[in-house]
């Protein structure tokens, strides 16, 4: 039993798609979520910068006595997971390994598409992780930074968003993929748009779902789940504008939340 909180970070709203999975699977857990909107988009920053943003958030959350650090951001997982896993005194969960495992297990024709930020695509991390799991799988990666802006500005579900997603995903025409990894935690918010843009045969993989299961697995195996009888807490912070964060977060989470500003 461990009643400390789980720390979850992203550059912004996207990480809430991972948090949603964690709280769905483990409703008794307390959490602290940090969206680093001051530094968004991570996908257009250098690896070193993203690594230092993630480290700063981890250091802050450690002071808040977290029992686990979840990097609910693909770009930050690519830049900082290995480093933080070694450095932090608490377990670190990223989103890339679980997402890759899930994609390799569902593909039938061994052709997987990846949509992510430019930072994640340029790191080739999905390509490498997928081929480490199964060298016979071919991947096709596409950077879609515009999708992050659509989500952050609360434009998911609009005509503009359907058009943008459909235009970008034309890249996959003729590539014969049967699986598509949503390699940015913002992208599950655009699921309707993405389904409409790709063929019905394409299975979408949201790495947040398997990352949530990995969190549960780890806490269960290490006897670190929170006691159901403890009073649970959930705190949301943004390093950016609080009212903008809350407006979009309410949409994504489907409930009203309260958030505070965090100066890091």
CB of 200 to ligand DGL, least distance (A): 26
Nearer to ligand DGL, 194 or 224 (CB): 194
Chain contacts with ligand DGL (rule: CB under 6 A): 10-11, 14, 40-43, 73-75, 117, 120, 148, 184-186
Q: Which is nearer to ligand DGL, 40 or 198 (CB)?
A: 40
Q: Which is nearer to ligand DGL, 40 or 54 (CB)?
A: 40
* Per annotation, catalytic residue among 184, 190, 248, 249: 184
Least distance (Å) from ligand DGL to the CB of residue 147?
9
Active-site residue, 144 included: no
Question: Which of residues 120 and 161 has its CB atom nearest to ligand DGL in the complex?
Answer: 120
Active-site residue identified among 73, 121, 189, 198:
73
CB of 81 to ligand DGL, least distance (A): 12
Taking residue 74's Cβ as centre, other Cβ atoms within 10 Å add up to 35
User: Helices 242-253 and 15-25, interaxial angle, to 10°?
Assistant: 50
Query: The tokens of 136 are what?
Result: 């016979």
Catalytically active residues are: 73, 184
């Amino acid at each position: 039993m461990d009643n400390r909180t789980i720390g979850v970070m992203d550059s912004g709203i996207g990480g809430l798609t991972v948090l949603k999975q964690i709280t769905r699977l483990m409703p008794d857990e307390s959490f602290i979520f940090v969206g680093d909107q001051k530094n968004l988009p991570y996908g257009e920053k250098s690896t070193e910068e993203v690594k230092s943003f993630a480290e700063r958030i981890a250091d802050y959350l450690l002071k808040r006595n977290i029992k686990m650090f979840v990097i609910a951001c693909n770009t930050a997982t690519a830049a900082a997971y290995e480093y933080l896993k070694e450095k932090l005194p608490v377990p670190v969960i990223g989103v890339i390994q679980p997402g890759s495992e899930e994609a390799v297990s569902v593909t039938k024709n061994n052709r997987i598409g990846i949509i992510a930020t430019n930072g994640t695509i340029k790191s080739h991390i999905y390509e490498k992780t997928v081929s480490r799991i199964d060298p016979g799988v071919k991947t096709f990666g596409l950077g879609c930074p515009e999708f992050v802006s659509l989500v952050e500005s609360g434009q998911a579900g609009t005509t503009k968003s359907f058009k943008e997603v459909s235009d970008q995903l034309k890249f996959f025409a003729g590539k014969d993929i049967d699986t598509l990894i949503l390699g940015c935690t913002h992208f599950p918010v655009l699921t309707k748009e993405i389904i409409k843009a790709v063929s019905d045969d394409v299975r979408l993989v949201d790495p947040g779902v398997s990352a949530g299961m990995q969190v549960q697995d780890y806490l269960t195996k290490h006897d670190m789940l929170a006691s159901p009888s403890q009073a649970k807490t959930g705190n949301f912070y943004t390093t950016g504008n609080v009212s903008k964060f809350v407006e979009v977060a309410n949409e994504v989470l489907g409930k009203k939340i309260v958030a505070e500003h965090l100066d890091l």
